[in-house]
Amino acid sequence: MRSLIRRAAVVAGIAVGVAAGIMPALPAWAGAVTGPAANGTYLALGDSVAFGFVPSQAVPPPNYRSAHSFVGYPEDVAQALRIRVFNASCPGETTDSMLVAGVVSNGCENSPGSSTGYRTLFPLHVQYQGTQMQYALKYLAVHRHTQLVSIDIGANDVFLCQETTADHCASEIQGVLQEIAANLAAMYTQIRDVAHYQGLLVALTYYALDYSNPVDVAGAKLLDSVIASVTTAFGGKVADGFAAFQGPSTAFGGSPCAAGLLIKLPDGTCNIHPSPAGHLLLAQAIEDVVGTLPPK
């Protein structure tokens, strides 16, 4: 499992280098949706993959002071479906930190040994106080025309366990997976029962970093199976991010890096995050399960 989701660097560490209550009260108002959002909106939740994170070593380097520097698969989905997206994702978010304020994340608001994270230093695509889930519930309470909610979350839970345990999560992995499942169920319960959102809910599964490595493949499938089982239990759909990268990687010996699906670095290696081409494939995986949105 460790080799599946090897960590390139703690997101908070990158950010610092560049810079030198689960059930909240919902707003009492629900104003009319105007402008582009009147045709329906799309809420994207998740971690650095949904955010479109780019490491500082990339060429050209991103502008961390402008969230517009980052384009992830949600923006590609929105363009294809001609729908307005609100991307609330945060690099380094875990299933715990998405639900509970102040817990240790993998670089969103904090990281092990540091009280700073990406969100405390740089802007997200949308700005909010509290947890990402609190924002999601408030958003859904107001935007009653929401047609799609997507999420990718869970890999950072494993990263964090790898970093903070003596055996790099070898003996703790089953407990981590159980916690991911429980947290996902809590998120979906709130989305369905608290926010009363019964529309399209899509979870994107994770790709492997090396499809020629049986350990990578097994680890990705294990995490993805947990995500898929919880999502379908709540009437959600599963977009197969694993398969999206697997096919094109096959022609390059199973390497998403060689296939151009991961961000290339100056030394010839790749970062773990998707390239623009990779994001387009992940977006297509979501579009495949969504189909055509009904007119609003």
Residue 198 sits in a domain of what CATH number? 3.40.50.1110
Q: Let me know if 199 is exposed, middle or buried by CB neighbors in 10 A (0-12, 13-18, 19+).
A: middle
Asked if residue 3 has pLDDT above 90, the reply is: no
List the structure tokens of 61: 């380097």
Specify if 93 maps to a domain.
yes
Position 123, amino acid: P
Specify if 184 maps to a domain.
yes
Question: 3-state DSSP call for residue 143?
Answer: coil
Question: Mean pLDDT across the stretch 74-88?
Answer: 96
Asked if residue 13 has pLDDT above 70, the reply is: no
Asked if residue 167 has pLDDT above 90, the reply is: yes
CA–CA dist 157, 117 (Å, integer): 16
pLDDT at residue number 77: 97
Percent of the chain exceeding pLDDT 90 equals 84
Specify if 15 maps to a domain.
no
As separate numbers, helices (DSSP H) first and strands (DSSP E) second, the chain gives 11, 7
Specify if 91 maps to a domain.
yes
What pTM did the predictor assign?
0.88
Specify if 27 maps to a domain.
no
Specify if 141 maps to a domain.
yes
What is the dihedral sign for C-alpha 162, 164, 170, 171? negative
Asked if residue 4 has pLDDT above 50, the reply is: no
The domain tally of the chain equals: 1
pLDDT averaged over every residue in the chain: 88
Asked if residue 89 has pLDDT above 70, the reply is: yes
Position 146, amino acid: T
> Which residues does residue 220 pair with via DSSP β-bridges, in sequence order?
none
Order the strands of the 146-152 sheet from edge to edge.
84-87, 41-46, 146-152, 200-204, 237-239
pLDDT at residue number 216: 94
pLDDT at residue number 294: 73
Question: Mean pLDDT across the stretch 68-93?
Answer: 96
What is the dihedral sign for C-alpha 92, 226, 222, 255? negative
60 pLDDT band, cuts 50/70/90, is: very high
User: Do 241 and 285 touch, CB atoms closer than 8 A?
Assistant: yes
* Domain span including residue 117: 37-290
Cβ neighbours of residue 63 closer than 8 Å, sequence gap 6 or more: 69
Question: Mean pLDDT across the stretch 87-109?
Answer: 97
User: Do 23 and 186 touch, CB atoms closer than 8 A?
Assistant: no
293 pLDDT band, cuts 50/70/90, is: confident
CA–CA dist 287, 121 (Å, integer): 33
Q: Which of 10-24, 42-56, 99-113, 235-249 has the lowest mean pLDDT?
A: 10-24
User: Do 250 and 207 touch, CB atoms closer than 8 A?
Assistant: no
Side-chain half-sphere of 283: how many Cα atoms within 13 Å?
22
pLDDT at residue number 39: 52
Question: 3-state DSSP call for residue 162?
Answer: helix
Per-residue CA distances from 155 to 15, 160, 223, 287 (Å): 19, 9, 8, 22
40 pLDDT band, cuts 50/70/90, is: confident
Specify if 50 maps to a domain.
yes
Asked if residue 206 has pLDDT above 50, the reply is: yes
**pLDDT tens track for 114-144:** 999 999 999 999 999 999 999 999 999 999 9
292 pLDDT band, cuts 50/70/90, is: confident
296 pLDDT band, cuts 50/70/90, is: low
